[in-house]
Amino acid sequence: MRDKLNDAARLELMQEAIGNIEMFTEGIATYEQFASNKILCHAVTYNLQCIGESVYRLSREFIETHPSIDWEAIEGLRHVLVHDYYQVNLEMIWMILEKDLPGLKTYLLSIQ
């Protein structure tokens, strides 16, 4: 059940997961460094799942009033990571870390 009373808490969980990813990947400058560390890949993937699960549980009202983020894509990533984990492409994960996560972090900080 999606409950708008919990949106603020879910946004905080997303920020925490982003912080975890940033901490885990500190000093990791290349895809090769990332992909060669299996524990790191799993830790990052888990935190991306947490972000996706938080998005999945955001209220429709919140999502509709914040259309500048592709919430559907974030939720879709969660479904792939959880249900189709054997198809996870680490290059795609690295691109998300490089290109998408910083913007999501900035946006979350701007609305709280």
Give yes or no: 60 in active site.
no
Q: Which entry of 10, 57, 79, 83 is annotated as an active-site residue?
A: 83
28: exposed, middle or buried (Cβ count in 10 Å: 0-12, 13-18, 19+): middle
The dihedral through the CA atoms of 37, 19, 10, 60 has a sign that is negative
Report residue 68 as tokens: 């500048």
Give yes or no: 66 in active site.
no
So which residues are the catalytic ones? 78, 83
